[in-house]
Copies of this chain bind each other. A is one copy, B any other.
Amino acid sequence: MTVKIDTRSKILKTALKLFQLHGYHATGLNEIIKESGAPKGSIYYYFPNGKEELALKALDLSTKIIKTRIQQELSAFIDPVKAFQFHITEIANFINHPENLDDIPMSLLSLEAAFTMESLRKACAATFEARKKIYVEKLIQSGFKIDKAEELGMIIQLMIEGAITLSLTQKDNLPLLTVVKQIPMLLKS
């Protein structure tokens, strides 16, 4: 009984990691099997609609994990400047150990889905939305007006995504650290 769930969740965790890091099309089901140690036949037992369902469910998992993590990091400081700086610095610290980047990178999967996998695209959009909401809430708690908080939350989110992309491409976390530096200016207004 416990073992069943274990197989399912091993598949899920491995799939999530590979989809986010290597991409949806680059990761074969066989790779997921091999790396997770799960039996081949189990994929279609637990996810009867195949690879795309697996991606969808993996994304669900990610949304939950990430929510907790972001909320924790942002609540480490009441001052929003310090809180966001802490959050982004934490991401920066793991750029050179991406296997521990724990569900942070979303851009690859969502761009792959954007034109070719509508249901996955929508799920990605929802995940982005959920993350932004956490940022916005922190900003509102810190006294920003709703409209301004919405705007800044979106800017912070897109800076983070862009900086992750650049940092991973260049194998150098300078882009993320530059964002950290920019936060005080951004939240001064």
Contact = CB atoms under 8 A, between A and B. Distances in A.
B108 A112 contact: yes
Contacts of A160: 162
A128 B158 contact: no
Max count, chain B CB within 10 A of own CB: residue among A125, A159, A161, A175: A161
Total identical chains: 2
Given A124-B169, A125-B169, A158 B155 contact: no
B158 A163 contact: yes
Interface string A149-179: 0010011011111110110111000110011
Given A21-B115, A26-B116, A108-B111, A158 B181 contact: no
A49 interface: no
Contact of A26 (B112, B151, B165): B112
A22 interface: yes
Q: Interface size class for chain A?
A: 35 or more
Contacts of A155: 159, 178-179, 182
Contacts of A1: none
A170 B125 contact: yes
A23 interface: yes
A8 interface: no
Contacts of A189: 185
A76 to B, nearest CB: 24
Contacts of A113: 169
Contacts of A166: 128, 154, 157-158, 161
Interface of A: 21-23, 25-26, 98, 105, 107-108, 110-116, 121, 124-125, 128, 151, 154-155, 157-163, 165-166, 168-170, 174-175, 178-179, 181-182, 185-186, 189
Q: Which 6 A-B pairs have the closest CB atoms?
A: A162-B162, A158-B162, A25-B25, A108-B111, A161-B162, A110-B169
